[in-house]
Structure 1
């Protein structure tokens, strides 16, 4: 019996197939009727897909059942140290290092003692036109979870 393909190997095949077919992440997300950020994260190995989602994606990208099996498997979430030094990812870390304490204070002031869930969570990325250069708008939408004793 062969092991299940790793999430990173499956992601590499998905990326290659997507690029070679000239598809966007949004087009793939539309195929499975799921949010584009979630779909992209799932295809990069951060979420398990349902059987139907994995089958649709693999059909669209002409990938085999070995990839679909990996897409359905439970991930080990997180990022490797190499990706954390990527300039785009590093800027998110930098922004949270600068604004994280202020966001924490504002969340506590507005909601009380608790946290924003990253499990019951939505995220979106959009472009906002600006005469001084287009803006990246990232929206985090997490359920507030109050601490209970």
Structure 2
């Protein structure tokens, strides 16, 4: 079984059981964003993590094996920027874009984060292992409307 099929089965079981990504992450003992990314095929789970998912969702070991397979990170289509910093942001969206969409829609409903009513901040965080960059994206949630 490939990661795409495993993702379909995981999302179907998640929906049938009425679970959130946060609840699955708690069972896996990982952060919600990382767990969601793994369930969407962008991360490789350990045997323990994959077993926790299939136990919680009532899925078989073929799904667990697929969750443990190496991830095809950044599997979204599109041109890749050549500037190194912009390339890394592109990579972040490639790897975590579907995860962020899924988590935002689960928390807020069907919609998106505004890029017009939007703030961004960059912070330097001192760290003995090397300073870290914190980028904060803050956009108003905009639900899709029906007409």
Same-fold call, TM cutoff 0.5 = yes
**1:53, 1:76 → 2: CA distance?**
18
Alpha-carbon shift at residue 75 of structure 1 (Å): 1.1
Give the aligned partner of residue 142 of structure 1. Answer: none
**1:124, 1:34 → 2: CA distance?**
21
Alpha-carbon shift at residue 135 of structure 1 (Å): 4.3
Alpha-carbon shift at residue 79 of structure 1 (Å): 3.4
Q: Deviations over 1:19-56 (max 9, x none)?
A: 00000000000001100000000011001000001001
Structure 1 residue ranges, 4+ long, deviating more than 4 angstroms after superposition = none
Q: TM-score, normalised by structure 2?
A: 0.56
Give the aligned partner of residue 54 of structure 1. Answer: 50
Give the aligned partner of residue 74 of structure 1. Answer: 70
Assess if the C-alpha contact under 8 Å between 1:46 and 1:75 holds in 2.
yes
**1:21, 1:124 → 2: CA distance?**
33
Assess if the C-alpha contact under 8 Å between 1:37 and 1:124 holds in 2.
no
Alpha-carbon shift at residue 77 of structure 1 (Å): 0.9
Q: TM-score, normalised by structure 1?
A: 0.55
Aligned residues: 105
Structure 2: gaps spanning 5 or more residues: 79-93, 103-111, 125-131, 142-147
Structure 1: gaps spanning 5 or more residues: 108-115, 129-133, 137-149
Give the aligned partner of residue 7 of structure 1. Answer: 3
Q: Deviations over 1:46-78 (max 9, x none)?
A: 010000010011000000000000000001111
Map 1:1-149 to 2 at 5 A.
Answer: 5-81=1-77, 135=140
